[in-house]
Amino acid sequence: MDLSIIGSGYVGLVTGACFAEIGHNVTCVDNDSRKIETLRAGKIPIYEPGLEELIHRNVAAKRLRFTCSTKEGVDNAQVVFIAVPTPPQSDGSVDLSFIEKVAREIAGVLTDYRVIVDKSTVPVKTGEKVAESIKRYNRHGAKFDVVSNPEFLREGCAVSDLMQPDRIVIGAESEYAVDLMKKVYEPFMAPILVTDVNSAELIKHAANSFLALKISYINAVSALCEASGADVEKVADGIGMDRRIGRNFLNAGIGYGGSCFPKDIAAFITISDQLGVPFPLLKEVQRINAAQKDRFLKTVRDTLWVLREKKIAVWGLTFKPNTDDVRCSVAIDLTGDMLREGAQVSVYDPKGMERARETGAIKGARFCESALETTEGAEALVVATEWPEFANVDLAAVRERMSTPIVFDGRNLFDPATMAKFGFRYHSIGRPPVKPM
C-alpha cells in the first residue's frame, strides 16, 4: 500500500520505517527542513536500536522517502497517518495546535478519498475535532474518514514493539476505513481490536496510566520495605508470579519519566476533570512518583551530610536505557538538584550526553567520556539510569578510583552482596543498605 506519515519524530520515523520494512511504500513528511535533509543524507536524528539499519535498507529499496510537502504526502498515499507532537501545557492539558495545523493542511490539499489516521496520543474526542477541521477547510469537498490508531511503542525497543505488537487498536466509524486499516496491518499477524474512535483514544491514556500506577505502587511498597528491612525485589517477584498481575513494571526505582507517562497521566487527569469524573487515584500516582526522587535524594543527603563541594559521579542521564531521550528524565532532575546544592557532579551516559547538554538543565556538571572517568576521586556514585554498560562495569576499578566508596543505586542495578564484597557502602531502593565486608 501507499502510506504517508506526517511528523517524523520518534513515533513517525519508527512507524514509517517499519511499514516500509514489511513492504509498504512510505512517505515521511516533516515541516523541519533540516531534519528532512538530515534523513535524506542518511543520518538519523534520534537513537533507537535497529532504526538506522531499517531506514537505510528501505531507502535503498525505494520504499521509504522523506519530504517537507504535506501535499506530496497526501497525494501519494491511500492512508495518511498524523504523528506530530502533542506536548503538555502548564495546566496538564494537551497542546493540540500541531494536530489542528496538520488537519487544516491535509484539508487544503485533499482532492479525493483518504483515510486520515491519528497516531499521536490525543485526548478522547480529538478525532471528532479533526474531522470537523478537515470538513471545514476541505475546499474540494473530498470524502474522507478519520481513524484513531494509538501507538504502544516503548523507547529503546520501539522497532520490536511495532514489528511484533501485542495488539493493534483501530477506532473507526466506517467499515471501509476499517478494511483499509486491516490491510495496512495484515503483515504483522497481531490481534486487532476494532472500536469506535472515542474508545480507541481513551485506550492509550488508560493503558499508560495503569502502567504508571504499577510503577508508583511498587515504589510505595519499596518505602515500606526500607522501613521494615524487607527486600522489594523479593516482594515484587512474589507479586509478579500471580498471573493476574505479572512482573513487568514492578521494578522499584527513583520514578518514571520520559515523554509519555508524565504527560499522559496529567492529560488523563485533565480529561477526567473536564468530563466531570475526577480521577484522584492518578493524582496519587503523580505524588508518589515525585516523592520517590525526593526520598532518594534525602538518603544521599543523610549519608553524605552536606552536598556542597562533594564530588559525586552520576551514571545515566536518559529517562531509561537504550534511548537518547532526556525529556522529563528523573536522572536529569536529580543531577540538577545536587548541582543546586553545591555538589561537584561528573556525569556520563552512553547515548544521552549531547541532548542533556542541549537542555541546559545540568549546566555546571562535568561531562565525562566514560563511566569510570566520572568516578575519579568521587565521594559517592549515583546510578540514575539502568544501562547494561553500567551493570557490566569493573567494580574493582570503580572502587579503586573513588575516594570514598559509597554507591546510591536508584535503579537496583547491582546485587547488594556483590557490592559489599567489593568494599562498597551500598544504598538501593527498597532493600536494606549494606556495608563493606
Quote the CA–CA distance of 300 and 279 in Å, as a whole number.
34
Q: Which residues are catalytic?
A: 260
Which amino acid appears at position 402 of this protein?
Answer: M
Per-residue pLDDT reduced to its tens digit, 278-299: 999 999 999 999 999 999 999 9
Which amino acid appears at position 255 of this protein?
Answer: G
Quote the CA–CA distance of 315 and 322 in Å, as a whole number.
14
Quote the CA–CA distance of 130 and 126 in Å, as a whole number.
6
- Return the biggest CA–CA distance within the chain: 78
Range 404-413 average pLDDT: 98
Nearest-10 crossing angle of helices 197-228, 261-274? 120
Q: Which cell numbers hold the place of 183?
A: 490491510
Say what the pLDDT of residue 259 is.
87
Say what the pLDDT of residue 437 is.
80
Which amino acid appears at position 179 of this protein?
Answer: D
Task: Kindly provide the b/e burial profile for residues 93-106, where b requires at least 16 CB atoms within 10 angstroms of the residue's own CB.
Answer: bbebebbeebbebb
Per-residue pLDDT reduced to its tens digit, 348-379: 999 999 999 999 999 999 999 999 999 999 99
For the chain, give the percent of residues with pLDDT over 90.
Answer: 98
Say what the pLDDT of residue 313 is.
98
Say what the pLDDT of residue 64 is.
97
For residue 315, the cross-strand partners are 348, 383
Range 309-333 average pLDDT: 97
Query: Has residue 209 got a pLDDT over 90?
Result: yes
Q: Are 313 and 408 in contact (CB under 8 A)?
A: no
pTM score, whole prediction:
0.93
Q: Are 286 and 266 in contact (CB under 8 A)?
A: yes
Q: Which cell numbers hold the place of 305?
A: 551530610
Query: Has residue 219 got a pLDDT over 90?
Result: yes
